[in-house]
Amino acid sequence: MTDAHRSTAAAWPALHVERWIDTVETLHMWTQIVGKIRMVASPWVNHSWSVPLYVSATGMTTSLVPYGSEGFELAFDFLADELRLTTTTGAHRAIELRPRSVADFHAAVMDAMRAVDMPVTIHPIPNEVERAIPFPEDTTHDAYDGDAVRALWRALLNTNRVLTRFRAGFLGKASPVHFFWGSFDLAVTRFSGRSAPDHPGGLPNFPDDVAREAYSHEVTSCGFWPGNRDRPTPIFYAYAYPTPDGFADATVEPAAAHWLTDLGEFALDYDAVRTAPDPDAALLAFAESTHATAARLADWDRAALECSAPHGPDWWHARG
Question: If you ran DSSP here, which 8-state letter would residue 174 be given?
Answer: B
Measure CA 112 to chain center: 25
pLDDT in tens, the chain (320 residues): 455 544 555 589 999 999 999 999 999 999 999 999 999 999 999 999 999 999 999 999 999 999 999 999 999 999 999 999 999 999 999 999 999 999 999 999 999 999 999 999 999 999 999 999 999 999 999 999 999 999 999 999 999 999 999 999 999 999 999 999 999 999 999 999 999 999 999 999 999 999 999 999 999 999 999 999 999 999 999 999 999 999 999 999 999 999 999 999 999 999 999 999 999 999 999 999 999 999 999 999 999 999 876 655 565 555 55
d(CA 308, CA 129): 39
The whole-model pTM stands at: 0.94
Contact between 149 and 23 under an 8 Å Cβ cutoff? The reply is: yes
Which residues are 93's β-sheet partners? 85
Neighbour tally for 275: CB within 10 Å: 14
DSSP one-letter code for 197: P
Element (H, E) at 292: helix 279-297
pLDDT score recorded for residue 310: 60
Q: CA 233, CA 242: separation in Å to the nearest integer?
A: 26
Distance CA(92)–CA(73), nearest Å, equals 10
Q: What is the DSSP letter of 38?
A: H
